[in-house]
Amino acid sequence: MKVEKISELTTNRLSVYLRCLNELLAEGKRTVSSDKLAERFHLNSAQIRKDLACFGEFGVRGVGYYVEDLRDHLQKILGLDKNHRVGIIGAGRLGTALADYYGFTQTNFDVVALFDNDKGKIGQRIGDVDVFAFKNFAKVAKKDKIDVAVIAVPAQFAQSVLEEVTKSGIKAVMNFAPTPLRVHDGVKLKTIDLTISLESLSYFLSHVNNINGNN
């Protein structure tokens, strides 16, 4: 199954281009060259041309790209013309914050359910979203047509939660637990490990301080 025809680094860059094009559109710009796009958003113009060339001929000589056309193309390539329904497992602070996260509504993802094991949380309503018992995940996922799971539970429970959700047929999972997880083939897992980012800041600070004498 050749699902990943282009690399994730490429799709990440397409996401960035899409954001820039939306900004230009909001300003009423109709065309943009790869050089202008690169200059304005601190990107690499050769990389832009290379990335977009993978998907056909978007540029017009002497004009550049038509902003709206290119935006529509990128949305289609990224599958943003279809909606996805998200179930968040873990109705703690992070899970409930994510249920309300503006990034989901900005894209094509709707959070439709929260899941937890805590009887005090099950049956509650957080914003527009109900909290269900996690043991009923498969049933609720089927009924509510959930196709994306977000794992927001402590690290030690993350792998078993992942097993359960993929058993119920979920193929796309976003994991916030700071631990590496193992997935089966055909399932896409994105781990958002904030501690890795924090440690990279820590490394930077420790070397800045060594050089500047603890400034």
Q: Which residues would be at the binding site for its own copies (CB under 8 A)?
A: 1-5, 8, 11-12, 14-16, 18-20, 41-42, 77-80, 82, 84, 93-94, 96-98, 100-104, 106-109, 147-148, 154, 171-172, 174, 178-180, 182, 186, 188, 190, 192-209, 211-212
The least distance separating its own copies from the CB of residue 60, rounded to whole angstroms, comes to 26
Shortest Cβ 135–its own copies spacing (Å): 24
> Which uninterrupted H or E stretch holds 113?
strand 109-116
User: Of 54 and 63, which CB lies nearer to its own copies in the complex structure?
Assistant: 54
- Nearer to its own copies by Cβ, of 80 and 133: the residue is 80
Give all strands (DSSP E) within 28-177, no chain letters.
Answer: 31-32, 65-66, 84-89, 109-116, 125-126, 129-133, 148-151, 172-175
In the DSSP assignment, the letter for residue 128 is T
Q: Which helix (H) or strand (E) holds 35?
A: helix 34-41
Provide, rounded to whole angstroms, the least separation between the CB of residue 75 and its own copies: 9
Nearer to its own copies, 139 or 207 (CB): 207
**Cβ 37 to its own copies, closest distance in Å?**
12
C-alpha to C-alpha distance for 185 and 198, rounded to whole angstroms: 30
Give the number of other CB atoms < 10 A from CB of residue 194. Answer: 10
